Amino acid sequence: MRTVNGADATERRRAPRVAVREGIECRLELRARVRLIDISLSGAMLAGDFELPAGTRAQLRSGLAERPFAADVQVRRTLTPSSRTPNGLGAVFTSMDERSRRSLEEFLRKASQ
């Protein structure tokens, strides 16, 4: 039995933990829903229930014009929360496949008519 903050605690670990040296970086990928505020060929304005700092990279997946869309994005700026954009994120597309590019172009063409 070990002591935690002066109280006895039962060990629950099945295997011992080992301290890790400094400098090992990890990535914790999370799925989160965002609301699409607006979109262009170069990027999108998103809103979510969380904040992400500028420079954060992510993948955006959606359906546009009833066709699948996926793009790698990078957050370029964050907006002060307002009634229209709680935790607004300005993101630029860094890459997407040809199918997604066609879906986006078709969506933008229909939306502008």
Confidence of residue 20 (pLDDT cuts 50, 70, 90): confident
In this structure, what are the phi and psi dihedrals at residue 96, rounded to the nearest 5 degrees? -160, 155
CA-CA distance, 105 to 84, in Å (whole number)?
25
CATH class of 34-111: mainly beta
pLDDT level of residue 5 (50, 70, 90 thresholds): low
pLDDT of residue 7: 56
* Residue 74 pLDDT greater than 90, yes or no: yes
Predicted structure pTM score: 0.73
Residue 3 has pLDDT above 80, yes or no: no
Which is nearest to 102 in space by CA: 59, 60, 66, 58? 66
Calculate what percentage of the chain has a pLDDT beyond 70: 87
| pLDDT exceeds 60 at position 2 | no
The per-residue pLDDT for 9 is 62
Q: What are the residue ranges spanned by the domains of the chain?
A: 34-111
pLDDT at residue 46 in the model? 93
